[in-house]
Structure 1
Amino acid sequence: MYRLYCQNLKNYLEINKAGNFNEFRLRITRPLLFLADVEKYKKLKKEDVLYKEVNNLVYEINKNKYIRFDTFSWELWALDFRSEKDDSFPKEIVDEQLKLINLLLGIQYWI
């Protein structure tokens, strides 16, 4: 599941960079990039806002209703991603990020 996520994220970025894309689509993917790269995630400082945003996303993935998130959350745990709730991020953006992660765990962006 994690490999599928990483490949689909790469394909998603390629598709959106090639055409006329909405900046919002790429802006919300920034923390998703760190979910796809364990080494970069580990280099983030604990005080970094991006680190907190990634950890909040992992928390939301753990508690979310999407069926694909069950397996994905176990894989994130195995890769040593932290799950920490942080209410400082706008719920609307977090919801959009979760919807995108759910799509990336499917075959919508598989090439």
Structure 2
Amino acid sequence: LVGKNHCAHTILGTPEFMAPDLYDEDYTELVDIYSFGMCVLELVTVEIPYSECDNVDKIYKKMSSGVRPAALNKVKDPEVKAFIEKCLAQPRARPFAAELLKDPFFDEIADDDDENDDCSCSYQ
């Protein structure tokens, strides 16, 4: 629930996709940008973020110490990797959705759609 200071105070979500700031119980809608970045990571690598961890505690320890998911190392395209890293940045550096939509990552997708109508993905 969002309070008067525009911060929420409940914790709910899938651990692999939850922003570290969620655990502080004082977060904004920017946690959704983090989760979106994790979704893009999964789509690109076909691997659940933090799949190298065998329990939630290990995920939390890695996340809270700033360790990125191992799957991020599998992203070969530098623009895609930069986009994901932008989504996973610290809350103060994380872009709002309107800013994120202006990222060159989306230009590349739009250009690919113009050139080719099939559904193949080459972002890995």
Per the normalisation by structure 1, the TM-score is 0.29
Report the TM-score, using the length of structure 2 for normalisation.
Answer: 0.27
Which structure's CA Rg is the greater one?
2
